A and B are shown apart, each in its own frame.
Chain A
Amino acid sequence: MHDDREIKRLLLLTAARDEGSAEAFEQLYKSCAPLLLGVAQRVVGRRELAEEVLHDSFAAIWRSVAKFDPLTARPVAWMVAIVRNRAIDVRSSHDVARVDSYHGADDDPEGMLDRLFDWSPGEDDAEERRRATQWVRGCLGKLKAAERQALVLAYEHGLSHGDLAAHLQKPLGTVKTWVRRGMDNLRQCVETCMGAAR
Protein backbone atom coordinates (compact mmCIF):
# COMPACT_ATOMS: atom_id res chain seq x y z
CA MET A 1 0.00 0.00 0.00
CA HIS A 2 2.69 2.47 1.00
CA ASP A 3 6.06 2.28 -0.63
CA ASP A 4 8.43 2.33 2.35
CA ARG A 5 11.43 3.30 0.28
CA GLU A 6 9.61 6.27 -1.21
CA ILE A 7 8.40 7.37 2.22
CA LYS A 8 11.91 7.10 3.65
CA ARG A 9 13.15 9.23 0.77
CA LEU A 10 10.53 11.88 1.50
CA LEU A 11 11.36 11.85 5.22
CA LEU A 12 15.06 12.35 4.46
CA LEU A 13 14.33 15.20 2.05
CA THR A 14 12.10 16.77 4.70
CA ALA A 15 14.88 16.43 7.28
CA ALA A 16 17.34 18.16 4.95
CA ARG A 17 15.60 21.53 5.58
CA ASP A 18 16.50 22.99 2.23
CA GLU A 19 14.57 24.29 -0.73
CA GLY A 20 13.07 20.91 -1.55
CA SER A 21 11.90 20.13 2.00
CA ALA A 22 8.43 21.68 1.86
CA GLU A 23 7.69 19.88 -1.41
CA ALA A 24 8.80 16.53 0.03
CA PHE A 25 6.80 17.11 3.21
CA GLU A 26 3.71 17.95 1.16
CA GLN A 27 4.10 14.71 -0.83
CA LEU A 28 4.53 12.83 2.43
CA TYR A 29 1.33 14.41 3.72
CA LYS A 30 -0.58 13.58 0.56
CA SER A 31 0.42 9.93 0.60
CA CYS A 32 0.09 9.26 4.35
CA ALA A 33 -2.54 11.67 5.71
CA PRO A 34 -5.56 9.49 4.76
CA LEU A 35 -4.15 6.47 6.59
CA LEU A 36 -3.05 8.50 9.61
CA LEU A 37 -6.38 10.31 9.83
CA GLY A 38 -8.07 6.91 9.84
CA VAL A 39 -5.79 5.73 12.65
CA ALA A 40 -6.56 8.88 14.68
CA GLN A 41 -10.28 8.65 14.05
CA ARG A 42 -10.41 5.06 15.37
CA VAL A 43 -8.96 6.34 18.64
CA VAL A 44 -10.63 9.72 19.18
CA GLY A 45 -13.86 8.90 17.39
CA ARG A 46 -14.89 12.37 16.35
CA ARG A 47 -13.84 13.70 12.99
CA GLU A 48 -12.83 17.18 14.10
CA LEU A 49 -10.71 15.80 16.94
CA ALA A 50 -9.08 13.38 14.50
CA GLU A 51 -8.12 16.26 12.20
CA GLU A 52 -6.70 18.07 15.21
CA VAL A 53 -4.58 14.99 15.96
CA LEU A 54 -3.53 14.78 12.31
CA HIS A 55 -2.43 18.42 12.36
CA ASP A 56 -0.49 18.06 15.62
CA SER A 57 1.13 14.85 14.43
CA PHE A 58 2.34 16.27 11.14
CA ALA A 59 3.68 19.31 13.00
CA ALA A 60 5.53 16.85 15.28
CA ILE A 61 6.78 14.88 12.28
CA TRP A 62 8.12 18.09 10.70
CA ARG A 63 9.89 19.06 13.94
CA SER A 64 11.30 15.67 14.88
CA VAL A 65 12.00 14.22 11.44
CA ALA A 66 15.76 14.46 12.10
CA LYS A 67 15.28 11.74 14.74
CA PHE A 68 13.88 9.29 12.21
CA ASP A 69 16.47 6.57 11.70
CA PRO A 70 16.22 5.28 8.13
CA LEU A 71 18.45 2.30 8.89
CA THR A 72 16.28 0.72 11.55
CA ALA A 73 12.80 2.17 11.58
CA ARG A 74 9.83 1.35 9.38
CA PRO A 75 8.72 4.78 8.21
CA VAL A 76 4.95 4.24 8.33
CA ALA A 77 5.19 2.54 11.74
CA TRP A 78 7.20 5.54 12.98
CA MET A 79 4.47 7.93 11.89
CA VAL A 80 1.67 5.69 13.16
CA ALA A 81 3.32 5.68 16.61
CA ILE A 82 3.39 9.50 16.65
CA VAL A 83 -0.29 9.67 15.64
CA ARG A 84 -1.44 7.03 18.13
CA ASN A 85 0.45 8.69 20.97
CA ARG A 86 -1.09 12.04 20.19
CA ALA A 87 -4.54 10.49 19.75
CA ILE A 88 -4.30 8.69 23.08
CA ASP A 89 -3.33 11.96 24.81
CA VAL A 90 -6.25 13.76 23.19
CA ARG A 91 -8.60 10.92 24.04
CA SER A 92 -7.52 11.05 27.69
CA SER A 93 -7.86 14.82 27.95
CA HIS A 94 -11.16 15.16 26.08
CA ASP A 95 -12.93 12.38 27.92
CA VAL A 96 -14.12 11.02 24.61
CA ALA A 97 -17.43 9.27 24.99
CA ARG A 98 -16.71 5.60 25.35
CA VAL A 99 -19.28 4.05 23.14
CA ASP A 100 -19.66 6.18 20.04
CA SER A 101 -16.12 5.69 18.84
CA TYR A 102 -16.13 1.92 18.60
CA HIS A 103 -19.76 1.13 18.35
CA GLY A 104 -20.21 -2.30 16.90
CA ALA A 105 -16.51 -2.85 16.39
CA ASP A 106 -16.40 -5.84 18.71
CA ASP A 107 -19.11 -7.80 16.95
CA ASP A 108 -16.46 -9.65 15.07
CA PRO A 109 -12.99 -9.12 16.53
CA GLU A 110 -11.60 -12.08 14.61
CA GLY A 111 -12.75 -10.68 11.30
CA MET A 112 -11.61 -7.20 12.30
CA LEU A 113 -8.08 -8.45 12.80
CA ASP A 114 -7.84 -9.29 9.11
CA ARG A 115 -9.98 -6.49 7.73
CA LEU A 116 -8.12 -3.79 9.64
CA PHE A 117 -4.60 -5.09 9.15
CA ASP A 118 -2.71 -6.37 6.18
CA TRP A 119 -0.69 -9.44 7.15
CA SER A 120 0.63 -10.20 3.71
CA PRO A 121 4.39 -9.74 3.38
CA GLY A 122 5.23 -6.21 2.21
CA GLU A 123 6.95 -5.97 -1.15
CA ASP A 124 9.81 -3.91 0.20
CA ASP A 125 10.21 -5.83 3.42
CA ALA A 126 13.42 -7.59 4.22
CA GLU A 127 13.14 -11.35 4.67
CA GLU A 128 13.23 -11.04 8.46
CA ARG A 129 10.40 -8.54 8.43
CA ARG A 130 8.26 -10.68 6.11
CA ARG A 131 8.62 -13.61 8.48
CA ALA A 132 7.94 -11.44 11.54
CA THR A 133 4.61 -10.36 10.04
CA GLN A 134 3.58 -13.99 9.59
CA TRP A 135 4.72 -14.89 13.10
CA VAL A 136 2.74 -12.07 14.72
CA ARG A 137 -0.42 -13.05 12.87
CA GLY A 138 0.12 -16.73 13.65
CA CYS A 139 0.78 -16.04 17.33
CA LEU A 140 -2.27 -13.77 17.62
CA GLY A 141 -4.27 -16.75 16.36
CA LYS A 142 -2.89 -18.91 19.16
CA LEU A 143 -3.95 -16.54 21.96
CA LYS A 144 -7.07 -17.17 24.01
CA ALA A 145 -10.04 -15.47 22.37
CA ALA A 146 -10.54 -13.08 25.31
CA GLU A 147 -6.89 -12.02 25.26
CA ARG A 148 -6.93 -11.50 21.52
CA GLN A 149 -10.13 -9.46 21.68
CA ALA A 150 -8.69 -7.26 24.43
CA LEU A 151 -5.51 -6.58 22.44
CA VAL A 152 -7.31 -5.81 19.18
CA LEU A 153 -9.84 -3.50 20.85
CA ALA A 154 -7.19 -1.70 22.87
CA TYR A 155 -4.93 -1.18 19.87
CA GLU A 156 -7.59 -0.19 17.37
CA HIS A 157 -9.40 2.27 19.63
CA GLY A 158 -6.66 3.29 22.02
CA LEU A 159 -8.68 2.04 24.99
CA SER A 160 -7.39 2.18 28.55
CA HIS A 161 -7.87 -0.74 30.93
CA GLY A 162 -10.87 1.11 32.37
CA ASP A 163 -12.42 1.66 28.94
CA LEU A 164 -11.91 -1.99 28.10
CA ALA A 165 -13.46 -3.17 31.37
CA ALA A 166 -16.50 -0.94 30.84
CA HIS A 167 -16.87 -2.02 27.25
CA LEU A 168 -16.46 -5.74 27.87
CA GLN A 169 -18.39 -5.53 31.14
CA LYS A 170 -15.70 -7.40 33.04
CA PRO A 171 -13.88 -6.52 36.27
CA LEU A 172 -10.87 -4.25 35.81
CA GLY A 173 -8.50 -6.88 37.23
CA THR A 174 -9.68 -9.47 34.73
CA VAL A 175 -9.17 -7.14 31.81
CA LYS A 176 -5.70 -6.11 33.02
CA THR A 177 -4.77 -9.77 33.22
CA TRP A 178 -6.00 -10.48 29.70
CA VAL A 179 -3.98 -7.59 28.35
CA ARG A 180 -0.82 -8.45 30.27
CA ARG A 181 -0.98 -12.16 29.52
CA GLY A 182 -1.98 -11.50 25.93
CA MET A 183 1.04 -9.28 25.29
CA ASP A 184 3.37 -11.61 27.16
CA ASN A 185 2.14 -14.71 25.32
CA LEU A 186 2.38 -12.86 22.01
CA ARG A 187 5.96 -11.81 22.72
CA GLN A 188 7.05 -15.25 23.87
CA CYS A 189 5.41 -16.94 20.89
CA VAL A 190 7.09 -14.57 18.41
CA GLU A 191 10.46 -14.93 20.15
CA THR A 192 10.11 -18.72 19.96
CA CYS A 193 9.47 -18.43 16.23
CA MET A 194 12.52 -16.19 15.89
CA GLY A 195 14.66 -18.63 17.85
CA ALA A 196 13.45 -21.56 15.78
CA ALA A 197 14.23 -19.70 12.58
CA ARG A 198 17.85 -19.03 13.53
Chain B
Amino acid sequence: MRGDLYGGGEVRLADNAQLDALCGEYLLGTLRGPARRRFERALRDEPRVALRLGHWEEMFTPRYTKMIEAQPSGNVWKRLERELGLARYRVPWHRRAGFWRGWAVAATAALALAIGLQILRPTPDAPLLPIATLAGKAEAAQVTAMLSRDGRTLELRAARPVVSGPAQSYELWLLPEGKAAPISIAVLGSLDARFALPAALVGRLSAGAKLAVSVEPAGGSPTGAPTGPVILVGDITA
Protein backbone atom coordinates (compact mmCIF):
# COMPACT_ATOMS: atom_id res chain seq x y z
CA MET B 1 0.00 0.00 0.00
CA ARG B 2 1.24 3.43 -0.85
CA GLY B 3 1.59 5.92 1.91
CA ASP B 4 -0.25 8.66 0.08
CA LEU B 5 -3.80 9.01 1.25
CA TYR B 6 -4.99 10.18 -2.15
CA GLY B 7 -3.31 7.47 -4.21
CA GLY B 8 -4.65 4.08 -3.36
CA GLY B 9 -4.19 2.27 -6.66
CA GLU B 10 -5.27 -1.35 -6.45
CA VAL B 11 -5.88 -1.39 -2.74
CA ARG B 12 -9.47 -2.14 -1.79
CA LEU B 13 -10.57 0.79 0.29
CA ALA B 14 -12.25 -1.34 2.90
CA ASP B 15 -8.84 -2.73 3.75
CA ASN B 16 -7.27 0.67 3.84
CA ALA B 17 -6.02 1.57 7.29
CA GLN B 18 -6.75 5.15 6.31
CA LEU B 19 -10.42 4.50 5.60
CA ASP B 20 -11.42 6.91 8.36
CA ALA B 21 -9.23 9.64 6.92
CA LEU B 22 -10.81 9.12 3.50
CA CYS B 23 -14.33 9.14 4.92
CA GLY B 24 -13.55 12.34 6.81
CA GLU B 25 -12.14 14.17 3.80
CA TYR B 26 -14.95 12.91 1.58
CA LEU B 27 -17.52 14.23 4.02
CA LEU B 28 -15.61 17.48 4.39
CA GLY B 29 -15.36 17.81 0.60
CA THR B 30 -11.59 18.12 0.31
CA LEU B 31 -11.24 14.70 -1.36
CA ARG B 32 -11.29 15.67 -5.04
CA GLY B 33 -10.79 14.52 -8.58
CA PRO B 34 -9.81 10.89 -9.24
CA ALA B 35 -9.51 10.19 -5.51
CA ARG B 36 -13.12 11.28 -4.98
CA ARG B 37 -14.33 9.15 -7.92
CA ARG B 38 -12.40 6.16 -6.60
CA PHE B 39 -13.94 6.62 -3.18
CA GLU B 40 -17.43 6.81 -4.70
CA ARG B 41 -16.82 3.58 -6.60
CA ALA B 42 -15.75 1.89 -3.39
CA LEU B 43 -18.87 3.28 -1.73
CA ARG B 44 -20.98 1.38 -4.25
CA ASP B 45 -18.92 -1.80 -4.36
CA GLU B 46 -17.70 -2.27 -0.81
CA PRO B 47 -20.38 -2.41 1.88
CA ARG B 48 -17.85 -1.77 4.63
CA VAL B 49 -16.89 1.57 3.10
CA ALA B 50 -20.54 2.63 2.87
CA LEU B 51 -21.09 1.52 6.44
CA ARG B 52 -18.13 3.51 7.71
CA LEU B 53 -19.11 6.64 5.80
CA GLY B 54 -22.63 6.21 7.19
CA HIS B 55 -21.13 6.31 10.67
CA TRP B 56 -19.22 9.48 9.82
CA GLU B 57 -22.28 11.18 8.35
CA GLU B 58 -24.33 10.17 11.35
CA MET B 59 -21.79 11.48 13.83
CA PHE B 60 -20.34 14.52 12.14
CA THR B 61 -22.94 16.10 9.87
CA PRO B 62 -23.88 19.27 11.74
CA ARG B 63 -27.36 20.71 11.78
CA TYR B 64 -27.53 24.07 10.01
CA THR B 65 -29.27 27.06 11.55
CA LYS B 66 -31.97 29.02 9.77
CA MET B 67 -29.52 31.76 8.80
CA ILE B 68 -28.40 29.70 5.83
CA GLU B 69 -31.85 29.39 4.27
CA ALA B 70 -32.66 30.98 0.92
CA GLN B 71 -35.94 30.92 -0.99
CA PRO B 72 -35.71 29.19 -4.38
CA SER B 73 -37.56 30.63 -7.36
CA GLY B 74 -40.76 28.86 -8.38
CA ASN B 75 -39.17 27.61 -11.58
CA VAL B 76 -37.12 24.96 -9.81
CA TRP B 77 -40.18 23.10 -8.58
CA LYS B 78 -42.06 23.54 -11.86
CA ARG B 79 -39.16 22.03 -13.75
CA LEU B 80 -38.92 19.09 -11.35
CA GLU B 81 -42.64 18.47 -11.55
CA ARG B 82 -42.44 18.34 -15.34
CA GLU B 83 -39.19 16.45 -15.78
CA LEU B 84 -39.94 13.77 -13.19
CA GLY B 85 -43.49 13.31 -14.49
CA LEU B 86 -44.93 13.79 -11.02
CA ALA B 87 -48.50 14.03 -12.33
CA ARG B 88 -48.51 10.23 -12.52
CA TYR B 89 -48.08 10.04 -8.76
CA ARG B 90 -50.96 12.27 -7.79
CA VAL B 91 -54.43 11.25 -6.70
CA PRO B 92 -56.79 11.97 -9.63
CA TRP B 93 -58.96 14.94 -8.79
CA HIS B 94 -62.24 13.02 -8.90
CA ARG B 95 -61.06 10.51 -6.30
CA ARG B 96 -59.51 12.97 -3.87
CA ALA B 97 -60.93 12.68 -0.38
CA GLY B 98 -63.39 15.41 0.36
CA PHE B 99 -63.74 16.44 -3.23
CA TRP B 100 -67.43 15.71 -3.27
CA ARG B 101 -68.11 17.27 0.07
CA GLY B 102 -68.94 20.84 0.82
CA TRP B 103 -70.37 21.85 -2.48
CA ALA B 104 -74.03 22.11 -3.35
CA VAL B 105 -76.00 23.70 -6.07
CA ALA B 106 -77.13 26.92 -4.46
CA ALA B 107 -80.55 27.75 -5.78
CA THR B 108 -80.44 31.44 -4.96
CA ALA B 109 -81.75 34.47 -6.74
CA ALA B 110 -78.26 35.12 -8.06
CA LEU B 111 -78.53 31.98 -10.12
CA ALA B 112 -81.72 33.11 -11.81
CA LEU B 113 -79.89 34.34 -14.90
CA ALA B 114 -79.59 31.93 -17.74
CA ILE B 115 -76.76 32.76 -20.07
CA GLY B 116 -77.25 30.10 -22.64
CA LEU B 117 -73.72 29.06 -23.47
CA GLN B 118 -74.80 25.96 -25.25
CA ILE B 119 -73.97 26.34 -28.88
CA LEU B 120 -74.25 22.82 -30.13
CA ARG B 121 -77.78 22.27 -31.39
CA PRO B 122 -79.23 18.81 -30.99
CA THR B 123 -80.71 16.68 -33.69
CA PRO B 124 -84.46 17.21 -33.32
CA ASP B 125 -86.87 14.78 -31.71
CA ALA B 126 -84.51 11.90 -31.08
CA PRO B 127 -86.07 9.48 -28.57
CA LEU B 128 -84.14 9.59 -25.26
CA LEU B 129 -83.27 6.99 -22.63
CA PRO B 130 -82.06 7.82 -19.09
CA ILE B 131 -78.42 6.74 -18.62
CA ALA B 132 -77.40 8.39 -15.35
CA THR B 133 -78.66 10.26 -12.32
CA LEU B 134 -76.27 12.96 -11.18
CA ALA B 135 -76.44 14.06 -7.57
CA GLY B 136 -74.39 16.11 -5.15
CA LYS B 137 -75.19 16.90 -1.56
CA ALA B 138 -78.64 15.87 -0.39
CA GLU B 139 -80.20 19.27 -0.94
CA ALA B 140 -78.72 19.73 -4.39
CA ALA B 141 -80.93 19.36 -7.41
CA GLN B 142 -80.70 15.95 -9.04
CA VAL B 143 -80.06 15.91 -12.73
CA THR B 144 -81.05 13.08 -15.04
CA ALA B 145 -78.90 12.49 -18.10
CA MET B 146 -80.69 11.05 -21.13
CA LEU B 147 -79.12 9.76 -24.30
CA SER B 148 -80.77 9.40 -27.70
CA ARG B 149 -81.04 5.92 -29.20
CA ASP B 150 -78.49 6.80 -31.83
CA GLY B 151 -76.14 7.92 -29.02
CA ARG B 152 -75.59 11.32 -30.59
CA THR B 153 -77.79 13.61 -28.50
CA LEU B 154 -77.51 14.13 -24.76
CA GLU B 155 -80.11 15.82 -22.61
CA LEU B 156 -79.89 16.93 -19.00
CA ARG B 157 -83.05 17.42 -16.96
CA ALA B 158 -82.73 19.08 -13.55
CA ALA B 159 -85.27 18.30 -10.84
CA ARG B 160 -85.65 22.04 -10.45
CA PRO B 161 -84.28 24.87 -12.60
CA VAL B 162 -80.56 25.50 -12.09
CA VAL B 163 -78.71 28.14 -14.09
CA SER B 164 -75.23 29.51 -13.58
CA GLY B 165 -74.37 33.04 -12.45
CA PRO B 166 -73.04 35.51 -15.04
CA ALA B 167 -69.38 34.85 -14.22
CA GLN B 168 -69.73 31.08 -14.19
CA SER B 169 -70.48 28.16 -16.43
CA TYR B 170 -71.25 24.55 -15.68
CA GLU B 171 -69.08 22.02 -17.38
CA LEU B 172 -70.16 18.44 -17.96
CA TRP B 173 -67.40 15.82 -17.82
CA LEU B 174 -67.07 12.20 -18.79
CA LEU B 175 -65.03 10.31 -16.20
CA PRO B 176 -63.81 7.22 -18.07
CA GLU B 177 -63.47 3.94 -16.20
CA GLY B 178 -60.12 3.55 -14.41
CA LYS B 179 -57.65 6.35 -13.88
CA ALA B 180 -57.94 8.22 -17.18
CA ALA B 181 -58.36 11.98 -17.01
CA PRO B 182 -61.83 13.54 -17.26
CA ILE B 183 -63.01 14.51 -20.75
CA SER B 184 -65.05 17.66 -21.31
CA ILE B 185 -68.44 17.00 -22.90
CA ALA B 186 -70.08 20.42 -22.87
CA VAL B 187 -70.07 23.89 -21.31
CA LEU B 188 -73.53 24.84 -20.11
CA GLY B 189 -75.36 27.83 -18.71
CA SER B 190 -78.21 25.72 -17.40
CA LEU B 191 -78.53 22.17 -16.14
CA ASP B 192 -81.57 21.78 -18.37
CA ALA B 193 -79.94 21.34 -21.72
CA ARG B 194 -80.03 19.30 -24.87
CA PHE B 195 -77.11 19.11 -27.24
CA ALA B 196 -75.30 17.01 -29.78
CA LEU B 197 -72.59 14.85 -28.25
CA PRO B 198 -69.10 15.58 -29.68
CA ALA B 199 -68.41 12.96 -32.34
CA ALA B 200 -65.35 11.65 -30.49
CA LEU B 201 -67.49 10.77 -27.47
CA VAL B 202 -70.28 8.94 -29.28
CA GLY B 203 -70.36 5.39 -27.91
CA ARG B 204 -68.22 6.20 -24.88
CA LEU B 205 -71.03 7.01 -22.47
CA SER B 206 -71.40 3.46 -21.21
CA ALA B 207 -71.60 1.56 -17.93
CA GLY B 208 -68.49 1.88 -15.73
CA ALA B 209 -67.88 5.50 -16.65
CA LYS B 210 -69.32 8.46 -14.74
CA LEU B 211 -70.70 11.86 -15.55
CA ALA B 212 -69.86 14.89 -13.42
CA VAL B 213 -70.64 18.59 -13.42
CA SER B 214 -68.16 21.20 -12.18
CA VAL B 215 -68.51 24.95 -11.75
CA GLU B 216 -66.03 26.78 -13.98
CA PRO B 217 -65.30 30.35 -15.05
CA ALA B 218 -67.71 31.62 -17.72
CA GLY B 219 -66.90 29.82 -20.95
CA GLY B 220 -65.59 26.68 -19.29
CA SER B 221 -62.41 25.36 -17.73
CA PRO B 222 -59.36 27.31 -18.93
CA THR B 223 -57.11 24.26 -18.54
CA GLY B 224 -59.08 21.42 -20.10
CA ALA B 225 -59.39 19.74 -16.71
CA PRO B 226 -61.92 20.57 -13.99
CA THR B 227 -60.72 23.55 -11.97
CA GLY B 228 -63.77 24.46 -9.91
CA PRO B 229 -65.88 22.55 -7.40
CA VAL B 230 -67.65 19.44 -8.66
CA ILE B 231 -71.28 19.76 -7.71
CA LEU B 232 -72.80 16.66 -9.27
CA VAL B 233 -71.65 13.17 -10.12
CA GLY B 234 -73.36 9.94 -11.16
CA ASP B 235 -72.61 6.50 -12.58
CA ILE B 236 -73.61 5.75 -16.11
CA THR B 237 -75.88 2.73 -15.92
CA ALA B 238 -76.71 2.19 -19.56
Contact = CB atoms under 8 A, between A and B. Distances in A.
B54 A72 contact: yes
B91 interface: yes
Contacts of B76: 33, 51, 54-55, 58
Interface string A146-186: 00000100110011110010000000000000011001101
Question: How many A residues are at the interface, by size bracket?
Answer: 35 or more
Interface in B74-123: 75-77, 79-81, 83-84, 86-92
Contacts, number: 154
A70 interface: no
Contacts of B79: 55
B30 A74 contact: no
Contact of A77 (B58, B66, B71): B58
A179 to B, nearest CB: 5
B71 A37 contact: yes
Contacts of B11: none
B89 A51 contact: no
B223 interface: no
B80 A22 contact: no
A58 to B, nearest CB: 5
A22 B86 contact: yes
B17 interface: no
Contact of B32 (A42, A76, A92): A92
A38 interface: yes
Contact of A39 (B68, B88, B91): B68
A41 B69 CA distance: 9
A73 interface: yes
Contacts of A122: 63
Decide if the interface of chain A is mainly helix, strand, loop or mixed: helix
Interface stretch (B18-26, B127-135, B136-144, B209-217): B18-26
Contacts of B29: 43, 84, 88, 154-155, 158-160
B21 A184 contact: yes
B180 interface: no
A196 interface: no
B62 interface: yes
Contacts of B59: 132, 136, 190
Interface in B194-220: none
A117 B65 contact: yes
Contacts of B87: 22
Contact of A38 (B30, B68, B86, B91): B68
Given A115-B65, A183-B24, A74 B58 contact: yes
Contact of B68 (A17, A88, A116): A116
Given A23-B91, A59-B83, 13 more contacts: A1-B64, A26-B86, A29-B77, A51-B72, A58-B80, A73-B57, A74-B58, A78-B57, A115-B65, A158-B29, A160-B29, A160-B32, A179-B30
15 contacts: A1-B63, A20-B89, A21-B89, A26-B86, A33-B76, A37-B72, A38-B68, A41-B70, A50-B70, A59-B83, A92-B33, A160-B32, A183-B24, A183-B28, A187-B20
Interface of A: 1, 17-23, 25-26, 29, 33-35, 37-39, 41-43, 47, 50-51, 54-55, 58-59, 62, 72-74, 76-78, 80-81, 84, 88, 92, 115-119, 122, 129, 132-133, 136, 151, 154-155, 158-161, 164, 179-180, 183-184, 186-187, 190
Interface of B: 5, 20-21, 24-25, 27-30, 32-33, 36, 54, 57-73, 75-77, 79-81, 83-84, 86-92
